[in-house]
Amino acid sequence: MNLGVFGVGYVGLVTGTCFAEMGNQVVCCDIDASKIETLKGGKIPFYEPGLKELVARNVAEGRLSFTTDPIATVEANEVLFIAVGTPSHEDGSPDISGVIEVAKMIGQHANGPKLLVNKSTVPVGTADRMRTELAKANPHRCSVISNPEFLKEGTAVDDFLKPDRVIVGAEDEVDEEVMRALYAPFVRTGKPVLFMDTRSAEMTKYAANAMLASRITFMNEIANLCEEVGADVDQVRAGVGTDRRLGASFLFAGVGFGGSCFPKDVQALRHLADEVDYEFTMIDAVHRVNQRQRQRLVEKVRSHYGGELSGRRFALWGLAFKPQTDDVREAPALTIIEELLTSGAEVVAFDPVAMESARRVLGDQIEYVSDAYKALDDADALIIVTEWNEFRFPDFERIKQALREPVVFDGRNVFDLDTMATHGFSYYSIGRRTIGREG
């Protein structure tokens, strides 16, 4: 099939590339000319494992191309995917203007029947609004499908190629058949393509993300309580996660969830409930607890230094909101850094891939170093915010030698308590006992 994809972000580029990989002819269109130039030059505008090779192969084999020309994209393709951003407004409501703009533009330039497939995460009722926009402008049969995306940054290619399920919200059997055919190569092992009405498909995405965010939040609450009553959250997690009814994923305690999806989607669901005067008590709590959790590590730092951080220098490992991505949107590291800077401390940071994206947000408010150990020189303590694998087994003696004092604040429970005790660190983590307090 001939497909057009609007937006070459994490979702759009992965979608376009994976459909090309299955033999479709795909053109990806973005309004950001620099991203399109980067792609045309054989590079990827962000970090996503395995994507570069897949893009290169499909470009070389003539199935994948890039453009900034939206009208040509509309005219040349009958099936048009939309994967543009839907960030939050100040009040937490989602900004869907990008999605609506693309629908309008397609309506104005449709030269025949078009099938719009919306992959952006949008509030319930957006597909209906898109249908209204399309109907205003054009005489051709244009329909809208809601096809929310569940890929995770860091494993996006694999998630797209092997989905647990595909959700398709459609109002028409002909459109359903197109989607069934397009997704058939991805669900050959029997994973379901679930057809439903568009409002339910839109809600499914928010419900899934909010539920995952709730699991993390619940475990963070348990972790905080563990600290008060002398239990160990990692042992509790093992005990809880082995219950088949519960499962082991998304149960790691830490400094709270971040990223471009969970915080924004939790806020959007909260807003959706407000709009219809429904008191969604749980979603409010998830948001509040997560905001509080981001402060928790800094509170431990403050308390270790008797409330005074002015003049202190901290090495910070990990800027991305999670490992295997360079995405710093809503990253807990940003909140932690802001708190430290406001308290008069200095921060010197290292992240394996997210330094450039962090620099775009933070500028020169902090120092960046190209090696994890370099960050330690002359620092009072090490703070770990992202659990990159390469941080898991460092040279502890080297860390100890480099720091002014052997103090580690670990927001992701990366290290073993006994190891830290053996090496003589003061070690603070989340939901576990503190090792040494002498500082």
Ligand X SMILES: NC(=O)c1ccc[n+]([C@@H]2O[C@H](COP(=O)([O-])OP(=O)(O)OC[C@H]3O[C@@H](n4cnc5c(N)ncnc54)[C@H](O)[C@@H]3O)[C@@H](O)[C@H]2O)c1
**Least spacing, CB of residue 296 vs ligand X, in Å:** 25
- 361 three-class SS: helix
- The CB-nearest residue to ligand X is 9
Tokens of 116: 């719009």
Q: Do 22 and 100 meet the contact criterion of CB atoms below 8 Å apart?
A: no
Residue with smaller CB distance to ligand X, 6 or 186: 6
Residue with smaller CB distance to ligand X, 8 or 381: 8
Residue with smaller CB distance to ligand X, 7 or 254: 7
Per-residue b or e along 219-242, where b marks 16 or more CB atoms closer than 10 Å to that residue's CB: bbebbbebbeeebbbbebbeebbe
Residue whose structure tokens are 């471009």 = 260
Tokens of 392: 């898991």
DSSP symbol at 26 = E
Tokens of 101: 């703009």
Quick one: CA dihedral 312, 357, 415, 234, positive or negative?
A: positive
Cα distance between the two ends of the chain? 64
Residue with smaller CB distance to ligand X, 9 or 352: 9
Catalytic annotation on 261?
yes
DSSP E strands, 68-141:
79-82, 114-118
Tokens of 254: 């830490």
**Least spacing, CB of residue 12 vs ligand X, in Å:** 6
Nearest by Cα to 381 from 309, 292, 293, 434? 309
Residue with smaller CB distance to ligand X, 151 or 328: 151
Quick one: CA dihedral 217, 218, 221, 226, positive or negative?
A: negative
Check 18, 28, 226, 261 and give the catalytic one.
261
Residue with smaller CB distance to ligand X, 42 or 311: 42
Which residues bind to ligand X, rule: CB under 6 A? Answer: 6-12, 29-32, 35, 70, 83-86, 98, 101-102, 119-121, 149, 151, 153, 260-261
Residue with smaller CB distance to ligand X, 325 or 429: 325
Alpha-carbon distance 72 to 10, whole Å? 23
* CA atoms lying within 13 Å on the CB side of residue 399: 25
- 303 three-class SS: helix
Q: Do 372 and 317 meet the contact criterion of CB atoms below 8 Å apart?
A: yes
Catalytic residues: 261
